[in-house]
Amino acid sequence: MLTRLAIKNFKNLESADIELGDAVVFIGPNNCGKTSALQALCLWQIGVSKWLERRGDGDVPKKRPGITLNRTELFALPVPSANLLWRDLHTRSREATSDGPKTKNVFIEIVVEGITNGKTWKCGLEFDYANEESFYCRPLATGPEERMPVPIDAGTVKVAFLPPMSGLTSEEDRLERGAINVRIGQGRTAEVLRNLCFNVSEQDQSGWTTLVDQMRSLFNVVLNRPQFIPERGQVRLSYSDAKGNDLDISSAGRGLQQTLLLLSYLRSNPNSALLLDEPDAHLEIIRQRQIYDILTRTAQEFGGQMIAASHSEVILNSAADRDIVVAFVGSPHRIDDRGSQVAKALKEIGFEHYYLAELKKWVLYAEGATDHAVLSAFARKLGHPSKDALEHPFAEYIGNQLSRALSHFHGVKEAVPTLRGVAILDRQDRQIPAAPGLQVVFWNRNEIENYLKLPDVLFRYAEDLAEKNAGSPLFGASEKQRYREAMEQCVAERLPPAALRNPDDIFWQSVKITDQFLDPIFDAFFKRLKLPNLMRKTDYHRLADFMQPDEIHQDVRDALDVIARAADEALAELQRPRS
């Protein structure tokens, strides 16, 4: 079993030290290095096997201690040029010395620790760029004249890398194991599913029976035994659905195909470190938890370990209870090894909240997604510094209940002490509580929609809708007039005369503008036009797009300033080196 992985200068990973175990989940945003870490293990395994094949496990020669690897041998991480394996493509660096600048080679370094038959071992390799087609591999230097040994136990490690399902071809030629591995490494999983199932059925009858039972339990289908057609050199695989219809496996849903690919691959690679890239792809939420449990059990049953890269909140929470979870946020680090009180809090809140807190370092609390959308629209209209932060924040919607915001913030802050928070809530007759790190903003008006420039934005909306519905510039002007008049009539019928004359009237501040004004206005407007209502409460944020920047109230600007400060402080925290 592999117990630790250390990486330097590989792809987008400058430096990483990752603890491993029986079951490990890598979690993190896109392009943060999760797949690169899996591929680094593949590169290390190829290097070890080629070294032992050519040099054995004896002493490392002091002269010319390297072997040459060709990029075409890296079937699990195919690249058109070898320098793409190096971080930022930097294969050489220049150093200033007393004798002038000198060029120095930049090495990829990968160190793996493990346990085999109760014996611990450690094996490090360095990779040195030669040209676009090849590079050198040698044991990691531990001194001017010394290098780490390559233990024979490291050569017994089998690494099997599986990317996500990529569709399914209508026909599949019979392939040998080497050809299957090459296609999988190239991401061509669409061409190997039938072959994997065929291999399982040929190698282990009881294993095939178990696989059939698992698929029946999960999807209520019965797999038929794969058939080899010698005349065409092809493998065929079908299944019977709940109605008894025999269908080709290409007729199955992508989730079924993905599950079958995972389970057949596990059974085809016993006693291996299974590296699974997004095993939850194409799977519904309930199925994700089932599949994760089955994968971990199957890996243990076959004497292997499972290392998976995932985005799934379900898998994150399942793994956090019992397995190792590594967050690729900043430097990769474990997030499941919190203290007992923190773990309890995160279990109640959800480990995905801790991950998001690690990722963003600040959290936005709002009544709901509509309030968030209106805030974001105001920020875009103003070109405010908070607009980018509001596009993809860690947002928690609390239904205007401050107590929920306080409880959530204190729970997550136990695990992320540097967390900042901003709560933007409807008007409440209460004092703002003291909550270090959390800034609470109550609107002076009833709710955020009260800050829309009404009724002006309604007239602008009506004219814009008329232009879109007119279909031709010829009818645009008359339609704009008709739609505007319809909106003006609806407003006049439902708005107090004083509020119509005075934009600062108490009406605009005190009423719940969505329920008492906008809802009935739009119902009447679309009835008058004899159209279905195209503007519901969830769409009211679109009205902010019809405002002018100078119409946006100072209360809104102040709230956006608070958000911008919190986001800036969070960004500074993210950029601070991790201790």
- Annotate 530-548 with b (16+ C-beta within 10 A) or e (fewer): eeeeebeeeebbebbebbe
- Give me the CATH number covering residue 415: 3.40.50
Distance CA 410, CA 435 (A): 9
pLDDT of residue 55: 84
514 falls within a domain: yes
Helices (H), 307-443: 313-322, 340-349, 351-360, 369-382, 387-391, 402-415
Per-residue pLDDT reduced to its tens digit, 526-568: 999 999 998 998 899 999 999 999 999 999 999 999 999 999 9
Distance CA 132, CA 400 (A): 59
- Give me the CATH number covering residue 279: 3.40.50.300
Task: Note whether 421 and 471 are same-domain residues.
Answer: no
Among residues 154, 179, 213, which one ends one of the domains? 154
Instruction: Show the low-confidence residues of the chain (pLDDT under 70).
Output: 58, 60-64, 336-347, 471-475, 578-579
Among residues 304, 338, 372, which one ends one of the domains? 338
Sign of CA pseudo-dihedral 178, 180, 181, 182? positive
pLDDT of residue 466: 92
Task: Note whether 427 and 564 are same-domain residues.
Answer: yes
> Which of 565, 557, 571, 568 shows the shortest CA–CA distance to 379?
557
Task: Note whether 318 and 390 are same-domain residues.
Answer: no
343 falls within a domain: no
pLDDT of residue 239: 97
Among residues 154, 183, 214, which one ends one of the domains? 154
Distance CA 399, CA 425 (A): 9
Task: Note whether 567 and 427 are same-domain residues.
Answer: yes
pLDDT of residue 184: 84
Per-residue pLDDT reduced to its tens digit, 18-64: 999 999 999 888 888 999 999 999 999 999 999 999 887 767 666 66
Task: Note whether 464 and 445 are same-domain residues.
Answer: no
> Which of 292, 361, 359, 363 shows the shortest CA–CA distance to 328?
359
pLDDT of residue 474: 61
pLDDT of residue 343: 56
461 falls within a domain: yes
Task: Note whether 233 and 264 are same-domain residues.
Answer: yes
Task: Note whether 359 and 332 are same-domain residues.
Answer: no
Task: Note whether 185 and 285 are same-domain residues.
Answer: yes
| DSSP-assigned letters across all residues of 511-550 | S-HIIIIIHHHHHHHHHHHT------GGGGGGGGGGS-GG
Type of residue numbered 11: K
Quote the pTM value.
Answer: 0.75
Question: Domain span at residue 376?
Answer: 353-449+556-575
Task: Note whether 563 and 432 are same-domain residues.
Answer: yes
> Looking up tokens 């906008």, which residue turns up?
518
Task: Note whether 123 and 255 are same-domain residues.
Answer: no
pLDDT of residue 344: 57
- Reported as half-sphere exposure (CB side, CA atoms, 13 A), residue 73 has a value of 17
- Tally of domains in the chain: 4
pLDDT of residue 575: 85
Type of residue numbered 418: T
Task: Note whether 218 and 244 are same-domain residues.
Answer: yes
pLDDT of residue 342: 57
- CB distance 323 to 348 below 8 Å: no
Task: Note whether 169 and 117 are same-domain residues.
Answer: no
> Looking up tokens 């955020």, which residue turns up?
448
